[in-house]
Homo-oligomer: A and B are copies of this chain.
Amino acid sequence: LKEIKVTLWNEYIQERENPQVKKIYPSGLHRVIAEYLNTKTGLDVRTATLNEPEQGLPDNVLNNTDVLIWWGHVAHDKVNDALVDRIYRRVLDGMGLIVLHSGHFSKIFIKLMGTSCSMSRWREGDENERIWVVNPGHMITNGLPLYFDIPESETFSEFFNIPQPDVLVFISWFKGGEVFRSGCCFYRGKGKIFYFGPGHETIPVYHNKYVLKVIYNAVWWANPSEGPKILIDGGPPSESLEK
């Protein structure tokens, strides 16, 4: 079995500048997720951050990535449009993309969704989030209970301005009164995209075993298949196939 090449991208700003965040993730939240994924077999994990050369994703990295995990929040507008276009083309050509939490407002997610990806309500309320499985046969729910709690979480709420997911896997309940489609699968071109809601930086969400398990499962789901070659830009006219 071929190893899945996973690249974990983090803007990695708040962990360096905000003491509260630094305390939870001293080396960056990407490190915590990477360490977990490294305990698993079948994955070849590396990390990348915004402040690295070519914003961490030069061609030799991006083109050798099977599944890209994306975390961003305060620096969405710093990501180069050219990089966004390169990621976009890689996804349409088969690369898996897992977008975490505030990444809903990243350029790449907005571009791939075709909608504003805004929410009609949100709140840093440190309220209980309860994540319910609504598709218990989906491989992303492997090893999960019917629901699990994140005792303190940022409240994300409907209406979440995304296309209806091809497959909806999780719905979150928030103690303050909101619901949110927090686990969403999308097929786009040859690529698979998974959006996963939890992950506010001031709370140790990525130390939660179920949250990590979901990310791990999603890597397997988003792993590229060797499907047919497609033309991303289209091409010249084709001959008739009539015989």
Residues of A at the B interface (CB closer than 8 Å) are 1, 92, 94, 105, 111-116, 118-125, 127-128, 130, 132-139, 141-147, 155, 157-161, 163-164, 166-168, 171-179, 181, 186-192, 224-235, 237-243
Judging by beta carbons under 8 Å apart, are B241 and A178 in contact?
Answer: yes
Chain B residues with Cβ under 8 A from A159's Cβ?
132-134, 136, 146, 228, 230
Q: Which among B143, B164, B187, B229 is the interface contact of A187 at CB below 8 angstroms?
A: B164
Q: Assembly of this chain: how many copies?
A: 4
Chain B residues with Cβ under 8 A from A243's Cβ?
128, 177
- With contacts A122-B237, A240-B127 known, is A225 near B142, CB below 8 A? yes
Closest to A181 in B: B134
23 contacts between A and B (CB under 8 A): A92-B115, A105-B234, A113-B114, A114-B163, A116-B189, A116-B233, A116-B234, A120-B146, A120-B230, A122-B238, A124-B237, A132-B158, A132-B159, A138-B225, A143-B226, A146-B229, A147-B241, A159-B228, A167-B187, A168-B168, A173-B174, A176-B242, A177-B240
Judging by beta carbons under 8 Å apart, are B137 and A227 in contact?
Answer: yes
Judging by beta carbons under 8 Å apart, are A164 and B168 in contact?
Answer: yes
Q: Which 6 A-B pairs have the closest CB atoms?
A: A177-B241, A114-B114, A118-B234, A176-B240, A141-B227, A136-B227
Closest to A237 in B: B123
Judging by beta carbons under 8 Å apart, are A189 and B164 in contact?
Answer: no
- With contacts A123-B238, A188-B115 known, is A138 near B231, CB below 8 A? no
| Least CB distance, A234 to chain B, in whole angstroms | 4
Chain B residues with Cβ under 8 A from A121's Cβ?
238
Chain B residues with Cβ under 8 A from A125's Cβ?
240
Bound-state CA distance A130–B160 (Å) is: 16
Bound-state CA distance A184–B234 (Å) is: 19
Judging by beta carbons under 8 Å apart, are B123 and A161 in contact?
Answer: no
Judging by beta carbons under 8 Å apart, are B229 and A175 in contact?
Answer: no
Bound-state CA distance A130–B179 (Å) is: 9
Bound-state CA distance A94–B111 (Å) is: 20
| Least CB distance, A48 to chain B, in whole angstroms | 23
| Least CB distance, A200 to chain B, in whole angstroms | 12
